[in-house]
Structures are given as C-alpha cells and as structure tokens.
Chain A
Amino acid sequence: MLLTRKVEFSAALVCANPAWDEAENRRVYGGNANPNGHGHNFMLEVTVEGQPDPVTGMVFDLRELKEILNQEVVEPMDHRFLNREVPPFDCVIPTTENVAREIWRRIDARVGRGAVRLRNVRLYETADLYVDYGGEISK
C-alpha cells in the first residue's frame, strides 16, 4: 500500500551557476536567475510504501512521518533563503529537481525500515509544475 503525506513550505532561492555570467544564467534559468532571489510556496508530497502493520493497522505512524517532515524539511527550509541558509544549496543550484533530490536524501534513511520504504517524492514548485523523484537508479 502507498501512503502519501503533504506538507507546504515557502522559500526564496536563486538559480544561477557561478561559472556563468549573468546573461548566460538569464538565458538558462530566466527570471529564476534574479540574483536577489524569488520565492515559491512549495508543496511536497511524500509517498511511503509498505504493508499495514498487523497490530496497528498502519503502514507508517502518521505522527512520526509528520515529525520527520517537520524536522528534515519544514523547519530547515520554511521561510528561508535556500542558497544562503540551507546547505547544500550554497553550492548546489536549488532547481526544483535538486530540491526534490535533497529532500529524498534527508528523509530516505529515516523512513525506510524493514519492508517499509520511501517510494516517491513529489515536489510542486507551483500548481502547474512538479517533479517526481523515486531515488537513484543504477545504469
């Protein structure tokens, strides 16, 4: 069974590669390259996969999942400037793809246990754009 929990956080960010000049960054990232930053209300959906526990009837303790998301995502990222305040975005460009991967990295180990595993991280940058990330694949 899949269990999905949503949380929202709002953050400022700049998408710019320090190796490129401003014109090149504007060309690649558009308005997202504005050096003073811009913001989004990110909506995060975290999906956990597993079988309901025969004793509790739950795939995952919802209060604990909420607590993990609070500690790993909302507290460090909500109302923050990602590039300036939230490592590794001082050296990783905070595109929605990279933020999704960082969220996966932060919560994967805390969610996975026994047959329960993190299945998907869906991160909405706006209502009209989101990314789905299911972890690294070997190729």
Chain B
Amino acid sequence: MTEMRVTRRYRFAASHRLDSFALSAEENRKLYGKCNNPYGHGHDYSLEISVEGPVQADGMVVDREALDRLVEQRILRLLDHKNLNRDVPEFEGVVPTTENLASVIERRLREHWNLTPRLARIRIAETERNTFEMEAPVA
C-alpha cells in the first residue's frame, strides 16, 4: 500500500501584538520586545498544510481543489489581512504568538475536516528565520 504525505503552501498577511494580560506592561515589554509595540506589527505568513494517506486510483492522495477550498474557507478568510488580536475571536484572551496561531489553525482544520486523507502536519513560517511546526494528533 502506497502511503504518501502531500504538502501545500499558502500565504496570508496579518498583524498582531504580543501582550499577555497576565503580565505587567514592563514585563510584557521585556518578554516580547519589539513584538509588544502597542500599535502592533505585521507579517507575511507562509502556511504549509500536510495531509497523509494512500495514493488513490486517480494517482493522487488528495484533491488539491478540495484542500484549497477548505483552507480558503476555514483559515485564510479568517486570518488574511486581519488584525489577529482584534478581528479573530479565537485570540480573545490568547496571545497571538505563532505557536498559538498554529494551534488555532490545527483545531479549526480538525473541526471542519471533510477530506479522505488525514491532516498530518502544520508548519508556519512567520519570517524566513522563524518556523513553527506541529504534527496533528492521529485521530
């Protein structure tokens, strides 16, 4: 049986500010540095979604269009050209670090998953130097 992992990359642009309500202004400045700037700042995020499963009779693991639709409807529409702190309900009371962003994306994908292959991995690059990766738990 031929199992393969297929990875597709998407992009979105969003702004955020890292500021924890559990810390004082001074502590937040110290912990998050430039990312604590009260006006916020932005990134062009690159998001990789990996799915895993058997190669089907059509020679493919996943229908690319169906994957694109799911990611577009459930993830990109929510995040692209948004202020994560103000426009995205998932970040109410949650600091929008890229770690937390990866968890939000994984959870939303899992909630709305309608594809045959399983969700295997999420990888987000915030900048070229910072990448965050999580394996999706096997259901």
B4 at the interface (CB under 8 A from A): yes
Are A131's CB and B6's CB within 8 A? yes
B7 at the interface (CB under 8 A from A): yes
B contacts with A, residue count (CB < 8 A): 19
Cβ 8 A contact of A15, one of B7, B55, B59: B59
Stretch in B60-68, B78-86, B103-111 with 4+ CB within 8 Å of A: B60-68
B128 at the interface (CB under 8 A from A): no
Are B59's CB and A131's CB within 8 A? no
A112 at the interface (CB under 8 A from B): no
Contacts A28-B58, A98-B59: A131 and B3 contacting too (C-beta < 8 A)?
A: no
Q: Which of A108-131 contact B (CB under 8 A)?
A: 127-131
- State how many angstroms separate the Cβ of A88 from the closest Cβ of chain B: 12
- State how many angstroms separate the Cβ of B91 from the closest Cβ of chain A: 26
Contacts A30-B65, A131-B61, A139-B1: A97 and B9 contacting too (C-beta < 8 A)?
A: no
Cβ 8 A contact of A130, one of B7, B10, B64: B7
Residues of B within 8 A of A28 (CB): 58, 63
- State how many angstroms separate the Cβ of B42 from the closest Cβ of chain A: 21
Are A137's CB and B1's CB within 8 A? yes
Residues of A within 8 A of B8 (CB): 128-129
Contacts A127-B9, A128-B9, A129-B9: A93 and B4 contacting too (C-beta < 8 A)?
A: no
Residues of A within 8 A of B2 (CB): 97, 101, 133, 136
Q: What 7 pairs between A and B have smallest CB-CB spacing?
A: A95-B59, A128-B9, A93-B59, A132-B5, A139-B1, A98-B59, A97-B55
Known contacts A129-B64, A133-B2; 11 further A-B pairs (Cβ under 8 A): A28-B58, A97-B4, A97-B6, A98-B59, A101-B2, A101-B4, A132-B50, A133-B5, A136-B1, A138-B1, A139-B1
